[in-house]
Chain A
Amino acid sequence: MIAYLPKSAVVLTLCLLFLPITFGLLGTLLPAFGYLPALGHHGLSLQPFRDLASTPGLVTATVLSMATGLVATLISLAVTLVFIAGHAGTPMLSRMQHLLAPLLAVPHAAVAFGVAFLFAPSGFLIRLAAPFLGIDRPPDVLIPHDPLGFTMIAGLVIKETPFLLLVTLAALPQVELGAARRLAASFGYGRIAGFVYLLWPTLYRQIRFAVYAVIAYTSSVVDVALILGPNLPGTLAVQLVQWMNDPDLDARFLASAGAVLQLGVTLAALLLWFFLERLSAIMMRNARERGWRFERDRLLCRASVLAVGLVGGVVFAGLAILAIWSLAGLWRFPDILPQSFTLRSWMSASPSLGNAVVTTLITGFASTLLAIALTIGCLERELQTGRNVGEKSLLMLYLPLIVPQITFVFGLQLLFIGTGSGDRLAALVLVHLVFVLPYVFLSLADPWRALDRRYEIIATALGRSRISVLLSIRLPMLMRPILTAMAVGFSVSVAQYLPTVLIGEGRLATITTEAVALASGNNRRVIAVYALLQTMLPFLAFALASLIPAALHSDRQEMKV
């Protein structure tokens, strides 16, 4: 009986990822072709697409979505590559790893608000400079919301670089770093060139799906685009949300057609990236065959340190500014600090906070526990059959990350109401699971596969059953990565907005739904309170993930990190 569990875990996992997305997409596709009986439209037509085509600024919005996504991904990946190439194997890098996880815990919206509060013409940096430059009014400069989306790209780079760095660092142990370094150096290649020629192709193969996920995310992001992006016109995703919220109900067809276009934009961005991959592979081969050694790369190495430092610095400075705003009384330009401090914003948030925190915790824990159980089941099945999941199933795992949320969550909402399911919380946990599962799986898969199997072989030889080997050897030894994967999953759940609002029908309020509702009022103090709260919960999860194993393993010197 127990032996069947892993097998059913695989089936269940695949269903959980595949079915909601398929049905969700169906629920979007039908209205896109004019079918939505509730509004009295029973026939199929191309009218929604015709309306879409005649929308002013559509081309600009589409190009913006694609370009900001691709450029942000390109910059993030370039910074990651140069930094890792320049510093892999140095002590600095292993120290970095500890700093990166908390950066991941900061939600996108908090990062974006931090960037806005720092760099806006009435933001903190100008206030710092104001006494020296003699400024008493904020300059009339177009930041953020600049038409070419530079501020938005900067915000996305700041958020995505730590993610790509962490993914790359996780994959790094799988390449022969030391040997390659020595070989490249002995032939007189620069650090970066040697790394790129010898190791990058293997490494990139490991992280490419993560890169695709970044492209999909950045080309369809809503919150960052709203806070930092251009708005005349906004990116396609922002306009989609506006159409979905249009009081004119027939705009729903336009929104559905737009969602299909958004899927197209994301796919086109991925396709373009695919060509870029080919192009850079050719360029790299050329450079390698010509023996270009790029020996003088020290400046580039240092620049990458600066870039990574800047990324971290902006995130933490942004959080600090958020903290000040959450406590600010009247804070006028160009004062560097508020005239008075008050707990008012925190106090007025507190009555509605209790329920939101409880819902956030329940949903986060439940979806994370389910995800970790399914992931362990799948990975155990892998060990049993001796087969790796392979590229195809990996793509399946990435499906919820690559298909833009906005294109299938609305359809999913129709489905849930259609089933007459009264249990909203269960539905919410299931939908969160769709997004939590991939991240948990991807975080745990590598350490799981990397564990030396000889421990288990010995234990089995001594007559232990598979399940007892799993419970007494594998799980304890993998305690740290398991908890880290759970922390990642939990923070993914905390950050979900669209699915929570739609499936929870607004009745299940989480920290994030409260934050977005209040952010629409644009009160900096309130925004700050909720952005900090949104950061705090995942932060705690990560802290627990590193403290629990330390406490459990305090008597075992070898298990310490």
Chain B
Amino acid sequence: MRSMAAIFAVGLLAASSSLPAAAAEPHISDWNRIEQAASGQTVYFNAWGGSENINAYLQWVSSEMQSRYRVTVVQVKLDDTASAVAKVIAEKASGKNEGGSVDLIWINGENFVSMKQKNLLLTPGWATALPNWRYVDSENQPTILTDFTEPTEGLESPWGGAKMVFFYDSARTDASSLPDNSAQLLDWAKKNPGRFSYPAPPDFIGSSFLKQVLAEVIDDPAKLSQPVNEASFERDVAPLFAYLDALHPVAWRSGKTFPQNYPDMKQKLADSELDIIFAFNPAEASAGIKAGELPETVRSFTFSRGTLGNTHFVAIPYNANAKEGALLTANFLISPEAQLRKQNPTYWGDPTVLAISKLPEADRAAFAALDLGAATLAPDKLGPVIAEPHTTWMNRIEVEWRRRYASGN
């Protein structure tokens, strides 16, 4: 019993005493050395495990990494990305500054900002030094260099694009009645009570819907690129909550409960419970049709004045055990081959982060030849991108949302 207590005390002490110097970082410029060091390593890739498609894609990545570089990539299936962040914190708390259990995380937005601020990420600049960075579309996709207005500083490597797109079943809903902005969406909901809803924050897609509406109704959208101004916050978000106050009585289940997340909305579209749903992936409906989850009559639409768009990334924790293997994997994920497969709706359907114009001829042709499916809008039909607001908005809106709608009063 005494020894157990001692061990516990040591654990806490180690956490409070000053940390030993970090192990030597791999030199990203010497790519040959990295490949050599990576050989035989096991990379624990912590990624949301809620989608069969994505899990299968990662299985493919794993087999490619094995045959090309002798790197074993193991997907640690998370139900929430934050639990990987929590693991890194727990390790830091107990003084485990090397040999950590997380090598690579699928991440963006709040989780990234959180890890960046707490210094839990591998040294800046590695991402932009990856050999395949030369293909990345850092010029035309501003969200590749700033993640929710937080500069990425090469702390995370882009993996895929995202754009908010709406879906409906053309067999049930008349295309001419579809809304073209948030205000029209509210009118549509009033005419079709109980047939629209959004996931309750802090679900990522639900929070995104709130940001979409806010971006459309706020008096000055420029405010959103800055941190929340506490003095004017109440006034800034008043139109958003007026919108929600009007929406909830005509929403699904009268706004007394909300869909759990995006896949839940997808099921509810198939169940005829919801008529308009949305996702952050333009090919989601095509993939759903292919998987037999959605009827073939589902189609997509966006708002002509723009919908929210962002990029998701992979990052390496400061105490990763297989840093070289993680670097190699991150580099493979932005290779034209991996990105091509990722954009193919048969496998995933996620928009690429690469600039097609920078690619070699053969890859350009392969991207052009992709069949995106009848339910997917062509890239030029997706409409303009509305940038993500500064992360402070997300936190404050979520808190405010819960205060108003989740207090049970």
A residues within 8 Å of B by Cβ?
Answer: 15, 19, 23, 26, 30, 36-39, 42, 56-57, 59-61, 64, 121-122, 136-138, 140-142, 145, 147, 230-233, 242, 244-249, 252, 328-333, 340, 342, 344-345, 348-349, 351-352, 413-415, 417-420, 501, 505-507, 509, 513-514, 516-526
Contact = CB atoms under 8 A, between A and B. Distances in A.
A506 B83 contact: yes
Contacts of A333: 270-273
Given A19-B4, A232-B200, A248-B110, A414 B11 contact: yes
Interface string B267-288: 1101111000000000000000
A147 B408 contact: yes
B235 interface: no
Contacts of B78: 506, 517
A57 B406 CA distance: 6
A37 B15 contact: yes
Contacts of B408: 57, 59-61, 64, 147, 232-233
B66 interface: no
Contact of B202 (A246, A509, A520): A246
A414 B94 contact: yes
Interface stretch (B84-92, B215-223, B347-355): B84-92
Given A233-B408, A520-B48, A520-B50, A38 B267 contact: no
B84 to A, nearest CB: 8
Contacts of B239: none
Instruction: Name the residue in B52, B85, B253 with the highest tally of chain A Cβ atoms < 10 Å from its Cβ.
Output: B52
A519 B82 contact: no
A349 B49 CA distance: 12
A518 B79 CA distance: 7
Instruction: Name the residue in A26, A56, A147 with the highest tally of chain B Cβ atoms < 10 Å from its Cβ.
Output: A56
A184 to B, nearest CB: 47
A247 B14 CA distance: 24
B10 interface: yes
A280 to B, nearest CB: 30
3 interchain residue pairs of minimum CB distance: A418-B11, A521-B50, A60-B408
A513 B77 contact: yes
Contacts of A415: 7-8, 11
A59 B403 CA distance: 13
B343 interface: no
22 contacts: A15-B1, A64-B408, A121-B273, A136-B272, A140-B254, A230-B257, A231-B200, A232-B258, A232-B408, A247-B82, A252-B89, A330-B293, A333-B270, A352-B55, A352-B77, A417-B94, A418-B14, A506-B78, A518-B49, A518-B52, A519-B79, A522-B264
B20 interface: no
B256 A232 contact: yes
A328 B408 CA distance: 37
B385 interface: no
B114 interface: yes
Instruction: Name the residue in A23, A244, A418, A520 with the highest tally of chain B Cβ atoms < 10 Å from its Cβ.
Output: A418
B76 A507 contact: yes
B326 to A, nearest CB: 15
Nearest to A57: B407
Given A38-B92, A245-B80, 6 more contacts: A42-B16, A61-B408, A233-B408, A418-B95, A506-B44, A523-B267
A248 B392 CA distance: 11
B12 interface: yes
Given A57-B402, A57-B406, A233-B407, A522 B261 contact: yes
B83 to A, nearest CB: 6
Nearest to B169: A332
B226 interface: no
B114 A522 contact: no
Contact of B295 (A141, A230, A328, A330): A330
Contacts of B12: 30, 37, 418
Contact of B256 (A30, A59, A142, A340): A142
Interface in B183-235: 193-194, 200, 202
A526 B263 CA distance: 12
B181 interface: no
A232 B272 contact: no
B1 A413 contact: no
A418 B408 CA distance: 40
B256 A332 contact: no
Given A23-B4, A506-B77, A142 B407 contact: no
B110 A509 contact: no
Contacts of A23: 4, 8
Interface of B: 1, 4, 7-8, 10-12, 14-16, 44, 46, 48-52, 55-56, 59, 74, 76-87, 89-96, 101, 109-111, 113-114, 118, 193-194, 200, 202, 252-254, 256-258, 260-261, 263-264, 266-268, 270-273, 291-295, 395, 402-403, 405-409
Nearest to A420: B96
Contact of B77 (A64, A331, A348, A514): A514
Contacts of A413: 90
A330 B254 contact: no
Contacts of A232: 200, 256-258, 405-406, 408
A37 B55 CA distance: 36
B110 A247 contact: yes
A242 B202 contact: yes
A121 B267 CA distance: 13
Contacts of A513: 77
B1 A19 contact: yes
Contacts of B193: 140
A137 B272 contact: yes
A46 to B, nearest CB: 20
Instruction: Name the residue in A247, A333, A340 with the highest tally of chain B Cβ atoms < 10 Å from its Cβ.
Output: A247
Contact of B74 (A342, A344, A507, A519): A507
A61 to B, nearest CB: 7
A60 B55 CA distance: 38
B270 A332 contact: yes
Given A121-B273, A142-B257, A352-B55, A56 B87 contact: no
A505 B254 CA distance: 40
A324 to B, nearest CB: 14
A513 B49 CA distance: 10
B295 A418 contact: no
B76 A523 contact: no
A417 B96 contact: yes
A245 B82 contact: yes
Contacts of A138: 271-273
A121 B109 CA distance: 35
A418 to B, nearest CB: 2
Contacts of A342: 292
Given A418-B8, A522-B50, A140 B253 contact: yes
Contacts of B83: 244-245, 501, 506
Contacts of B111: 247
A330 B292 contact: yes
A248 B292 CA distance: 37
A344 B109 CA distance: 34
A227 B197 CA distance: 18
B56 A348 contact: yes
A520 B407 contact: no
A299 to B, nearest CB: 36
A330 B289 CA distance: 9
Nearest to B270: A332
B407 to A, nearest CB: 4
A9 to B, nearest CB: 17
Given A138-B273, A231-B257, A232-B200, A244 B92 contact: no
Contacts of A344: 291-292
A420 B11 CA distance: 9
Contacts of A140: 193-194, 252-254, 273
B73 to A, nearest CB: 13
A522 B267 contact: yes
A248 B115 CA distance: 9
Instruction: Name the residue in B14, B90, B405 with the highest tally of chain A Cβ atoms < 10 Å from its Cβ.
Output: B90
A61 B48 CA distance: 28
